Amino acid sequence: MNSRSAQFRRDGFLVLEGFNTTEACDALMQRGQELAADFDFNGHASVFQTSEQSKTADDYFLDSGDKISFFFEKDAFDNSGKLKGDLFHSLNKIGHALHDLDPVFDAFSRSRQMKALAADLELNDWLIIQSMLIFKHARIGGVVDVHQDSTFLFTEPDSCIGFWFALEDAYKENGCLWAKPGGHQCRLHARFQRKAGGGTEMIHLINEAYDTEGMIPLEVKKGTCIVLHGLLPHYSLPNSSRKSRQAYAIHTIDKKTVYPGTNWLQRDMKKLRGF
């Protein structure tokens, strides 16, 4: 077992500084601006927030697994439903198939260094199922509550592994990630899934709050890659600074596992690709 794999298995996360170049990060952010500029808002507003999952249960959200879709911050609108600011700085994220549908995001997600990292972590049979460009704009970027990624991308057995790329410096004031070394050595707390009659629901599997004691801020420089075990509880606080904290994230699953049809995100599994 190599040092990367050993550290990841021990801590449940892996911080790799200088993983991507400044130019690669800038290209991804520029592409995000271009996609947002081409977005035909037309009054539609799908709001993303982890604390109120019913807010994300509309058809636009549920149909976004194989599309490039746009989601707003909950505080982006005034009482009349109009945007308080410009569209780009009102967005929370773009997802969830950027890695398959856009050549810039595809190249970033399947770079030479990503192929090498996947080999180091023995992820030869893992498929990229989801991607998100996360903006965390200055002053408006909201909280992401404590969660486990496997809650949203459940497989049997568990296999979800996330890769979080800092496109800008991430520190406590602008909403960096927080996690606890070894925190992945726990059970899955909940499953977020589709309801039989439509919409979504959060199924709580254990009646325990997440153990946040010992969580540390993962303050990282632009270009850093953070690998996250699917069972690792993690969160980020609101961006209270004057600097944005853009990040890109992809999530992967083992193609040999069972991916239930009740998961909120659905793809044609035969069309999924790895690194």
In a domain, 103, yes or no: yes
pLDDT at res. 45:
58
Given a contact cutoff of 8 angstroms between Cβ atoms, the answer to whether 266 and 156 are in contact is: no
pLDDT at res. 54:
45
In a domain, 181, yes or no: yes
Mapping DSSP to helix (H, G, I), strand (E, B) and coil, where does residue 173 land? helix
Given a contact cutoff of 8 angstroms between Cβ atoms, the answer to whether 61 and 92 are in contact is: no
pLDDT at res. 168:
98
Q: Which two tokens stand for residue 85?
A: 């600011």
- The whole-angstrom separation of Cα 209 and Cα 205 is 11
* Number of domains, the chain: 1
- The whole-angstrom separation of Cα 219 and Cα 232 is 17
Boundaries of domain holding 180: 3-257
pLDDT at res. 13:
98
In a domain, 270, yes or no: no
In a domain, 107, yes or no: yes
In a domain, 263, yes or no: no
pLDDT at res. 172:
97
Around Cβ 259, how many Cβ atoms within 10 Å? 21
Around Cβ 257, how many Cβ atoms within 10 Å? 16
In a domain, 84, yes or no: yes
pLDDT at res. 82:
84
Looking up residue 199, the CATH number of its domain turns out to be 2.60.120.620
Q: What is the pairing mode between strands 13-16 and 144-147?
A: unpaired
In a domain, 220, yes or no: yes
In a domain, 236, yes or no: yes
pLDDT tens digits in sequence order for the chain, 275 residues long: 789 999 999 999 999 999 999 999 999 999 999 999 999 877 565 665 554 444 445 888 999 999 999 999 888 888 887 888 899 999 999 999 999 999 999 999 999 999 999 999 999 999 999 999 999 999 999 999 999 999 999 999 999 999 999 999 999 999 999 999 999 999 999 999 999 888 899 999 999 999 999 999 999 999 999 999 999 999 999 999 999 999 999 999 999 999 999 999 999 999 999 99
Mapping DSSP to helix (H, G, I), strand (E, B) and coil, where does residue 147 land? strand
HSE value, Cβ hemisphere, 13 Å, CA-based, for 187: 8
115: enclosing H helix or E strand: helix 112-120
Q: Report residue 245: phi and psi, to 5°.
A: -135, 70
Mapping DSSP to helix (H, G, I), strand (E, B) and coil, where does residue 53 land? helix
